[in-house]
Amino acid sequence: MLKRAKVLIVDDDPLNRLVLEKTLQQDYDVFCVESGEKALTFLKTQSVDLLILDIVMPGIDGYEVLSKIKENTVTNMLPVIFISANSSHDDEAKGLELGAMDYITKPFSAAIVRARVRNQLLIKQKNDLLEMLASIDGLTEIPNRRYLDENLAREWRRCRRDQTPLSVLLMDVDHFKRFNDCYGHRAGDDCLKRIAHALVGACERGSDFVARYGGEEFAAVLPNTTATQAVAFANKLRHAVSNLGIPHTASLNSDHVTISIGIATTETGQVYAEQTLLEEADLGLYQAKDGGRDQVVS
Ligand code: GH3
Ligand code: MG
Ligand code: MG
Ligand code: MG
């Protein structure tokens, strides 16, 4: 495992917590809390790779904690191992049916806990890798349309909830068909890779992201960014591509490769669907093309 996995132990019994912590702390970053409420609060602010969850606890019990975890889109993929003194088949079946990945009965063997934790973390690691691969565009190796759609929806909900502006940029390479015709499709592919790299490299804020929207089109999602800020950022991206200086003698607007950009922003109080944002950005893009290309329209 490349980085140390994080494991959260939830158990009301201090001795159990201590023993479990001792069992796992050599291999993992271990956190302990003593109630279901504290576990849910913990997960609101920190992400972990695995949860070891007691069932019988005062307040909300382990079953309820698991249900809450499954309801939340941020945590529903988090693997949970129940650890309980309830050792009947019915208890175990209930835990597994609720979505726990494994069920360990108390008193437990440290070696078995270690092995089962390791197995779950290996599965988690593979799932994370698959998830990552499914979100990456094969040619440019930047986030793909699937990633864009999922994360734009999430950012849109967040900005609506927090009453902050959200800006979306749609970018399209100018006269790219002519580029392919002039330099060949392989050179076209290389050009797209360099543009993608330049766009991603120009993002400074961790919350901003660029994705390949399709073909020779890219999108940028800029949370907490006003229309004015988005224009400045779009021009930065436009320059980043222009400054690559990729020759394009067949272009009708420049001697090197350029992009046009359309912008849409949700200003506070306005109601927008996230797809409407993309449509509006597309209108801006159309105007940028119409206005002579290599420009930004908001
Ligand atoms: P405009 O300035 O109006 O955008 O002109 P354009 O030629 O860029 O627009 P158009 O949509 O007509 O052409 C887009 C071209 O992008 C056509 C297509 O072959 C090319 N293209 C799309 N995806 C890829 C790709 O993955 N690799 C390569 N090499 N070319 C691609
Ligand atoms: Mg208990
Ligand atoms: Mg296009
Ligand atoms: Mg184009």
DSSP 76: T
Give 257-289 pLDDT, tens digit per residue. Answer: 999 999 999 975 566 677 789 999 999 999 999
Give 64-110 pLDDT, tens digit per residue. Answer: 999 999 999 889 999 999 999 999 999 999 999 999 999 999 999 99
Distance 196 CA to ligand 1 centre (A): 14
Rounded (5°) CA angle 101-44-208: 105
Q: Could you identify the residue written with the tokens 């900005």? A: 159
- The stretches in the chain having pLDDT less than 70 are 1-2, 268-272
Q: Which of 216, 267, 274, 279 is catalytic?
A: 216
Per-residue pLDDT, 74 = 87
Nearest ligand to the C-alpha of residue 251?
Answer: 1
Q: Please indicate whether residue 216 is annotated as part of the active site.
A: yes
Verify whether ligand 1 is closer than 6 Å to residue 289 (CB atom). Answer: yes
Name the residue of 173, 174, 177, 254 whose CB sits within 8 Å of the most ligand 1 atoms, as the mutation to test its pocket: 177
Rounded (5°) CA angle 209-173-245: 95
Neighbouring-strand partners of residue 212: 218
Per-residue pLDDT, 169 = 98
Residues 6+ apart with CB under 8 A from 3: none
Per-residue pLDDT, 271 = 62
> Which atom of ligand 1 lies closest to the CA of 176?
8
**214 within 8 A of 145, measured Cβ to Cβ:** yes
Per-residue pLDDT, 115 = 97
Atom 4 (ligand 1) nearest CA? 174
Per-residue pLDDT, 26 = 96
**64 within 8 A of 91, measured Cβ to Cβ:** no
Distance 170 CA to ligand 3 centre (A): 10
> Which atom of ligand 1 lies closest to the CA of 293?
2
Q: Which whole-number Å values give the CA distances from 152 to 14, 155, 196, 214, 280, in the listed order?
A: 43, 5, 18, 15, 14
